[in-house]
Structure 1
Amino acid sequence: MDRKYNDLIGEILESSGEKDNFNLEGKGKPLPKGYVQRDVFQNFQKIAKDAGYLPSWLKLQKEISTLLEKAKTDKDIKRINKKVKEYNTLCPLPMQKMLVSMDGIEKARRIWG
């Protein structure tokens, strides 16, 4: 084997006869200025956002907001707080939120809404 690494995608394309059968827009041209001005993570964020990707903690944030609007009992609050704890483990540190109580539910609705 003359390769120094496993090129799984290349092998799949090669076996299907599609290895060099790409006519991509911009092939052989310099990358756009905006692309090289951002780091790899920023480029990933832009591509993911453009593709409609939503991080799991943002999905959870929307779910918690919906649950807060419907909450009426202590059982509902316990369920919400379980979700808040999960949210706090997934989200960036500055985005973490306090647990909810029945007394502070209106404030929580404003914060999460």
Structure 2
Amino acid sequence: MTKAKDAGFLPLWIKSQKEIREKLAELVRLKKMNGTESELMKRMGEINEKVRTYNAICPTKMQRREIELESMEIQCVKWK
């Protein structure tokens, strides 16, 4: 009998975590390239929606704060 883990199955919250990590890294790059504040805020809102969904499905101890413009670089490191 094959275990789900052995078959390559990942829980939805792990997939969500990876997606948030990638989107957050893109957001940090955009900020470093002097992206407009409106574009940064739009993307940050989309990421925070994903963070809220992630927090609803992951184990309690794995929950994360929403992303903030002032600390996104630090938060990006914490998502790795």
Confirm or deny a common fold (TM above 0.5). Answer: yes
Aligned-partner Cα distance in 1 for 2:42–2:21: 16
* Paired AA for residue 13 in structure 2: W
Q: What residue ranges of structure 1 are gaps of 5+ in the alignment? A: 1-45
Q: TM-score, normalised by structure 1?
A: 0.58
Please give the secondary structure, in 2, of the residue aligned with 1:103.
helix
Query: RMSD between aligned alpha carbons?
Result: 1.2
Counting matched residue pairs gives 68
* Paired AA for residue 65 in structure 1: R
1:51 aligns with 2:7: yes
* Paired AA for residue 51 in structure 1: A
Which of 93, 103, 108 is 2:60 aligned to? 93
Which of 77, 81, 101 is 2:44 aligned to? 77
Greater Cα radius of gyration, structure 1 or 2:
1
In the other structure, the counterpart of 1:64 is: 20
Q: Tell me the percent identity.
A: 40
Moved over 2 A (4+): none
Aligned-partner Cα distance in 2 for 1:107–1:61: 16
Deviation string for 1:40-85 (max 9, x for gaps)?
xxxxxx8111110000000000000000011140111100000000
Aligned-partner Cα distance in 2 for 1:51–1:70: 30
Aligned-partner Cα distance in 2 for 1:102–1:77: 8
| Structure in which a larger fraction of residues adopt helix | 2
